[in-house]
Amino acid sequence: MEEIIKELQTLNIGKVKENELLANHTTMKIGGPADLFIEPSSVENLKKVMSVINKHGLNWRAIGRGSNLLVSDKGIEGVVIKLSSGLDHLEIDGTTITVGGGHSLVSLATLISKKGLAGLEFASGIPGSVGGAVYMNAGAHGSDISKILTKAHVLFENGSMEWLSNEEMKFSYRTSVLQNKRPGIVVEAVFDLAAGDRAAIVAQMQKNKDYRKETQPWNFPCAGSIFRNPLPNYAGKLIETAGLKGFSMGGAKISEMHGNFIVNAGNATAADVLALIQHIKDTIFNLYGVKIETEVEIVGRK
């Protein structure tokens, strides 16, 4: 690993750290170390990182702002690439915006609303990055990324880059082609928005933010919704009806505000969260015969 670090430092690709605790980079404040943690300072440097990864046959995964992510207490083997300030560019051309994968989704939604552009109001409280939002087709309030994305620029693990159209992204509920069939990193996205009344758009943004503050526990470290909704049912409602709100294991606790949120109530471990997830799954199946699956990504060493 020492040789690889020297090689990366020679290439001057950005920040390179060994054994960086991922608890420092996830919204749940949980996660062991990454063997190698890299924050590329540009798209070109991200491509150089992928070249080194391929050359040495290293395992890798990309993260954005660390939401929707539960990292093992034992950390992640190989390389973790964080898309941040080096990949957060933004261009506005009429109602079309091109934005880097490392850009904060909340910040983008706020900025765009003030420009009088409609279409991103649903994202006003989603605490992830643009790249992560495209990767998982993030959504809320009856809309999602698939409704506004024109195309995504993706870096694949073989080092090639390709623009994928909305259709080629094969979006479905909280899913895209990048999650299984074609693993890759969303370097930038192009969104097609609509001109609208600035005051009305800002008001809707604020309404969505207020709703989240009133119904979701963002004052505690959490990863967002833990389970996918087993439609026509809703995970949070099933958990609440089962009497599980407030139930805890170790430092992990089911939020008393929203049944589909698990919060880090104090020094929670990934093992605590996983045990609680399993308890919820078992309880819901035993009571209602409904299988619920996680929306949060569970990654790292077993």
Distance CA 92, CA 169 (A): 23
Please pick, among 41, 174, 182, 198, the residue that the annotation labels catalytic.
Answer: 174
Q: Is 143 a catalytic residue?
A: no
Q: What is the structure's pLDDT at 1?
A: 81
Q: Given its phi and psi angles, is residue 130 left (phi above 0), alpha (psi -120 to 50 degrees) or beta?
A: alpha
Residue type, 207: K
Q: What is the structure's pLDDT at 86?
A: 87
Q: What is the structure's pLDDT at 3?
A: 87
Q: Is 174 a catalytic residue?
A: yes
Q: What angle do CA 108, 71, 220 make, to 5 degrees?
A: 60
Distance CA 47, CA 184 (A): 12
pLDDT tens, position by position, 229-282: 999 999 999 999 999 999 999 999 999 999 999 999 999 999 999 999 999 999
Q: Is 157 a catalytic residue?
A: no
Provide the CB-side half-sphere exposure for 135 (13 A, CA).
Answer: 32
Domains, the chain, with CATH or none: 2-85 (3.30.43.10), 88-214 (3.30.465.10), 218-299 (3.90.78.10)
Residue ranges, the chain, pLDDT below 70: none
